[in-house]
Structure 1
Amino acid sequence: MAVNIPGLVAIAVFYVAILTFGILIGRRKNKSGTADELFLANRSFGLVVACLTTAASMVGGGYVNGTAEVIGRDGLVWTIGPIGYNIGMAIGGIFIAPKVRAARYTTIVDPFQVKYGPKMGGVLFISEFFGDVFWEAAIFGALGTTLSIVLDINITASVVISACVAVIYTFFGGLYSVAYTDIVQLLLIAVGLVLAVPFAVTSPVVDMSKVTTSWLGQVHTEHIGLYIDTIFLCVCGGVPWQAWYQRILACKSPKLAQISTVVGAGIALVLAIPPGILGVAGAATDWNSTSYEGTLPLSFGEWTNILPMVLQFVCPAGISIVGIGAVSAAVMSSADSCVLASGTVFASNIYKNIFRPKASERELVWVLRGAIVVVGALGAIIALTVGTVYGLFILCGDLMFVVQFPQLICVLWVSFANSYGSLSGFIVAMLLRFTGGEPYLFIPPLIKYPYYDDKHGQMFPFKTMTMIISFIFIIGVSYLTDRLFKNGTISKKYDILQCFTEEAAQRTGESKENGEHIPCLTEPLNDGAVLSEKNTSI
């Protein structure tokens, strides 16, 4: 198959347009060039911008390609990712968003550093970082397979070019560039994929009667444990993400942050329907009647290409090109979110709070930009290494579920939680998770839980078990050390993590930002003044 010249030109125009728009909007909005502008857009987001950019942060290449992959191969019942992640985001929006926005934090790692100190908060950045990198890899992997199939260009070149475009405009414009390009990209996703649906399902090579019942899928008895694990992973693993907390922390008020997150999750869930239909159409296609020249039937790993295959071999050429634009837009809308999220946490919580407390604004800006480049590069490398888009889509929430979720709940609502409990919970969660193995990263299991299968791996819901055990350790060790140190059973001179010093008491009692009181998150919040902030801007 020759290179698709019209499609290649269309994608080149799209990339140049997005890159130019992202840089221009960043230069226009970032008037002072401060770190706060790049991090949080001066907390200026109104309802429309907040809703759309929140939805776009979820609807990435992994989201659309992964949804098509799993519903076409395994059926609706296994399409847990888009449903679970959006439920998790909505839950976080209802209960957590107004709380952290009222406290005027910069990142979701801030409450950990306020309560546990800078270094322990830095340790908990590890799971956030890997979650963002795997999410980034899923995004770039989706675009790489799409462009390589539809345009017949090298997958490595497509991934690298896409990563460069997303990194460059985020590098210069920060959250302003990310948010406003998100709005344009979200509209392209909606138009491109919705437009492809009728052409796909009415194509003469597609017989939807072949999948009348099979598209629903089924859960076999031996897979129940795995199914439960995946549900909890997606719902709870969708709660702690910095990428969308960055948007709610940029909202004008706590109430607006709450509303925009729930609405954004709803928009994202609706946008999972078109790729889902295209995935079902792919399962109903007679591929021998198309110009597809690959092996049949599709192997497990080849199903990751089902969306671009439908666009290329089932839809008309013009629709195919529009569909590529939609997937490309999906990639950019989430890729920029990931690199900015990890870059912000590194610059603010690691570099400034731990290594360089007196760092200047200019220094922080350049540290952020350097981190953006590194995260973008790592995501591209992993995308070219790991085969399945949906696997990466699930894997990115893995550490967020087993490690970060119990940590976040405890730091927000368990008043006696301390660094001893947090560190023990972190170590236990990481140990149990990785000794269980990970086929997508080629890590063999050291522990084989009940119902282990040589072909499919762990069938026992060990990730949910790991998360629960981590909860128990955080709460149990925190309570025990709190009692022992405060009762004098153990002398405070042995408080090596400095949880019970005067400095720790002051840190958890209150902090200040520009002279304003920031309440401790384990205390009731008085949101009156903050809730009354104007939110008339879009």
Structure 2
Amino acid sequence: MALNIGGLVGLIVFYLITLATGIWASWKSKKEKRGDPTEMAIVAGRNMNFWVGLFTATATWVGGAYINGTAEIVYLPSRGLLWVQAPAGFALALLIGGLFFVNPMRSKNYLTMMDPIQEAYGNTMGSLLFIPSLIADVFWFAAILASLGATMKVILDIQGYLAIIISACTVILYTLLGGLYSVAYTDVIQLVFIMASLWICVPFAMTNFATESIFYTIGRNVFQPPWVGKIEVWDIGRWLDDFLYLVLGAIPWQTYFQRVLSASSAKQARFISYLSGMGCFILAIPSVLIGAVAASTDWNQTDYGLPTPNDRGESALILPLVLHYLCPTYISIGGLGAIAAAVMSSGDSALLSASSMFAHNIYRKILRKKATEKDVLWVMRVSMVAFGTLAGVLAFYSHSIYDLWLLGGELVYALLFPQLCCVLFIPNTNTYGSAAGFVFGLLLRLLAGEPSLKIPPFICYPGCSVVDGVYIQRFPFKMVTMLITLLTIISVSYLAAFAFKRNLLPHEWDISNDILSQYRWIGGCDLKPSLHLSVLWILRQRERNMQEETWLG
């Protein structure tokens, strides 16, 4: 196979257009000068155009791992269409986010998802809870970079590491220059390119001479099991667990809140959330069809030959393989552009998300409280380079696109989602409950093992079995871990409040000053902690005297 010069030139032109758009958006954001510089970089001055906001919200979720992973799952003989959960899961996640999470976040003009957590639980817990969010964003970026590298290797016959380096550098550069404005306007171009390119590829792949009709093979397939797939009884718990993880675990991401917080009104933010969910679902259809085509193809009649991609362990590359071997060259190049666009549209979001939270919530609120706006912006830019480099390095070592994509959000689901629910909807929770939930939830998740990393479980839930030497948890342990984390936060918070207020624990042990802080403001004066007991005693004594006077009267 020779280097595809035409495809390489076309891809370079696409990258240059994307970079030029990002630079133009950067210039536009500086010209408008609405709000402070940090607010402009993180939430675009809270004045994002509705249609631009809709496009960027949709493009954020439709990444390279999304379109590659969807085709892979449809194609796999052991999975099929019924196991493709991300499109419906993300659509429901964005619907729930718009219904319940947009208004509480916008009502207090937060900049990041970590703001309410730091406000309720303090900087220490904010720092700890930033870690799973950072890991998720970096893993997400790494997963989509890996998918692009594998795709370019198949279609253009260039080394995957070159694609990873070039793509990472391009994303870092335009995100660094313009913040959310650059990300949003480049997302518009990228999303249009994704929609056009993938839909153009589908009819060519479906009509290839080596492919049976997918409407025939949905029920009877001579090449492998029907691509619709099936869910065995013993897999129902695992299926539900993965689906709920996608629905609820897709909400507590800064990439999502960055979009809804940048809209000009709460009403627009809700509509952006609802419509972007529909967009995610619709944009998965071409990948589903391509996966079905792959499952309906006699690969021996193509230049790929036998054994099949599944037998060679190349199922993760099924989308670029279909584009390369079942479509004309000029069409496959368009499909490659769609994957590159999907990678950049999600990669820039992950990069901006991690750097925004680090600069605003860690650097400005913890490390240097007197930092200027200029300092915060520079820290954001430096962290973009650092996190982008780390994701690029991880992309070299990824072996399964889909596993890495799912793995990135599990800690967010188990640890961050319960914390966010508590700070927004259960105001009486406190730092002690938050810390207990974090530790207990993290411990439970680690002890459950991780099949993609071949880590055996220390806790074998009901239905746990060994398949091909790998432990599989069929019980919905992710959902259980999330619920236990949530219950731990609530129960420990109320127990701690009860123990301190009833003097079962010394007040000096209230190191976070959460429980007794409500008594600190008496008559507009901020009292010292040493006066808490005296003030409480005076208040109680007054209450008793008033009750006695009422009774005597």
TM-score normalised over the length of structure 2? 0.88
Partners of 2:424 and 2:311 lie apart in 1 by 45
What is residue 54 of structure 2 aligned with on the other side? 51
Q: Does the 8 A contact of 2:309 with 2:315 survive in 1? A: no
What is residue 331 of structure 2 aligned with on the other side? 319
What is residue 39 of structure 1 aligned with on the other side? 42
Identify if the C-alpha distance between structure 1 residues 153 and 293 changes in structure 2 by more than 3 Å, giving closer, same or farther: farther
What is residue 531 of structure 1 aligned with on the other side? none
Partners of 2:338 and 2:285 lie apart in 1 by 14
Within 5 A, what are the aligned runs for 1:111-510? 111-208=116-213, 211-213=217-219, 214-292=226-304, 295-296=307-308, 298-299=310-311, 301-455=313-467, 456=470, 457-502=472-517
Q: Does the 8 A contact of 1:144 with 1:156 survive in 2? A: yes
Partners of 2:200 and 2:381 lie apart in 1 by 37
Partners of 1:43 and 1:300 lie apart in 2 by 49
Question: Which is higher, the Rg of structure 1 or of structure 2?
Answer: 2
Between 104-113 and 451-460, the greater mean CA deviation after superposition: 451-460
Identify if the C-alpha distance between structure 1 residues 301 and 371 changes in structure 2 by more than 3 Å, giving closer, same or farther: farther
* SS of match in other structure, 2:227: helix
Partners of 1:495 and 1:294 lie apart in 2 by 68
Partners of 1:42 and 1:405 lie apart in 2 by 26
What is residue 104 of structure 2 aligned with on the other side? 99
Partners of 2:208 and 2:511 lie apart in 1 by 68
RMSD of aligned residue pairs (Cα, Å): 1.7
Partners of 2:310 and 2:263 lie apart in 1 by 45
Give the superposition deviation at 1:345. Answer: 0.4
Give the superposition deviation at 1:500. Answer: 2.6
Partners of 1:300 and 1:346 lie apart in 2 by 42
Between 452-461 and 27-36, the greater mean CA deviation after superposition: 27-36
* SS of match in other structure, 1:496: coil
Give the superposition deviation at 1:501. Answer: 4.7
Which amino acid in 2 is paired with 1:165?
Answer: T
Deviation string, structure 1 residues 211-263 (Cα, Å, up to 9, x no partner): 22212111112222211210111111011111010011111111111111111
Partners of 1:302 and 1:308 lie apart in 2 by 11
Deviation string, structure 1 residues 135-169 (Cα, Å, up to 9, x no partner): 11221121111111011111111112111111111
1:109 matched to 2:121? The reply is no
Identify if the C-alpha distance between structure 1 residues 463 and 174 changes in structure 2 by more than 3 Å, giving closer, same or farther: same
Partners of 1:280 and 1:160 lie apart in 2 by 32
What is residue 11 of structure 1 aligned with on the other side? 11
Q: Does the 8 A contact of 1:99 with 1:254 survive in 2? A: no
What is residue 532 of structure 1 aligned with on the other side? none
Q: Does the 8 A contact of 2:299 with 2:306 survive in 1? A: no
Q: Residue 76 of structure 1: which of 81, 88, 97 is its match?
A: 81
Q: Does the 8 A contact of 1:420 with 1:477 survive in 2? A: yes
Give the superposition deviation at 1:58. Answer: 0.6
Deviation string, structure 1 residues 60-83 (Cα, Å, up to 9, x no partner): 101111111111212111001222
Identify if the C-alpha distance between structure 1 residues 161 and 441 changes in structure 2 by more than 3 Å, giving closer, same or farther: farther
Give the superposition deviation at 1:294. Answer: 6.7
Q: Does the 8 A contact of 2:123 with 2:365 survive in 1? A: yes
Partners of 1:459 and 1:192 lie apart in 2 by 38
Q: Does the 8 A contact of 2:44 with 2:180 survive in 1? A: yes
Deviation string, structure 1 residues 373-428 (Cα, Å, up to 9, x no partner): 12212222222212111112222221121111111111111121111111111111
What is residue 514 of structure 1 aligned with on the other side? none
Partners of 1:299 and 1:285 lie apart in 2 by 14
Give the superposition deviation at 1:458. Answer: 1.7
Q: Structure with the greater relative contact order (CA < 8 A, sep ≥ 6): 1 or 2?
A: 1
What is residue 25 of structure 1 aligned with on the other side? 25
Between 436-445 and 11-20, the greater mean CA deviation after superposition: 436-445
Which amino acid in 2 is paired with 1:21?
Answer: T
* SS of match in other structure, 1:396: helix
Partners of 2:502 and 2:271 lie apart in 1 by 44
Between 286-295 and 174-183, the greater mean CA deviation after superposition: 286-295
Identify if the C-alpha distance between structure 1 residues 60 and 505 changes in structure 2 by more than 3 Å, giving closer, same or farther: farther
Give the superposition deviation at 1:301. Answer: 4.4
Give the superposition deviation at 1:448. Answer: 2.4
Between 455-464 and 440-449, the greater mean CA deviation after superposition: 440-449
Partners of 1:15 and 1:442 lie apart in 2 by 37
What is residue 63 of structure 2 aligned with on the other side? 60
TM-score normalised over the length of structure 1? 0.91
Partners of 2:176 and 2:91 lie apart in 1 by 28
What is residue 528 of structure 2 aligned with on the other side? none
Partners of 1:250 and 1:110 lie apart in 2 by 15
Give the superposition deviation at 1:504. Answer: 10
Deviation string, structure 1 residues 273-318 (Cα, Å, up to 9, x no partner): 1111111111111111111157425248411100000110001111
Identify if the C-alpha distance between structure 1 residues 302 and 454 changes in structure 2 by more than 3 Å, giving closer, same or farther: same
Which amino acid in 2 is paired with 1:502?
Answer: S
Partners of 2:280 and 2:310 lie apart in 1 by 29
Q: Does the 8 A contact of 2:198 with 2:286 survive in 1? A: yes
Which amino acid in 1 is paired with 2:159?
Answer: N
* SS of match in other structure, 2:310: coil
* SS of match in other structure, 1:454: strand
Q: Does the 8 A contact of 1:81 with 1:393 survive in 2? A: no
Which amino acid in 2 is paired with 1:85?
Answer: F
Partners of 1:302 and 1:170 lie apart in 2 by 32
Aligned residues, how many?
506
What is residue 542 of structure 2 aligned with on the other side? none
What is residue 517 of structure 1 aligned with on the other side? none
Give the superposition deviation at 1:483. Answer: 1.5
The gaps in structure 1 that reach 5 residues or longer are 507-538
* SS of match in other structure, 2:275: helix
Give the superposition deviation at 1:115. Answer: 0.8
Which amino acid in 2 is paired with 1:42?
Answer: G
Between 132-141 and 445-454, the greater mean CA deviation after superposition: 445-454
* SS of match in other structure, 2:465: coil
Which amino acid in 1 is paired with 2:207?
Answer: T
Partners of 1:94 and 1:327 lie apart in 2 by 31
Identify if the C-alpha distance between structure 1 residues 360 and 3 changes in structure 2 by more than 3 Å, giving closer, same or farther: same
Give the superposition deviation at 1:433. Answer: 0.6
Q: Does the 8 A contact of 2:309 with 2:318 survive in 1? A: no
The gaps in structure 2 that reach 5 residues or longer are 220-225, 522-553
Which amino acid in 2 is paired with 1:56?
Answer: A
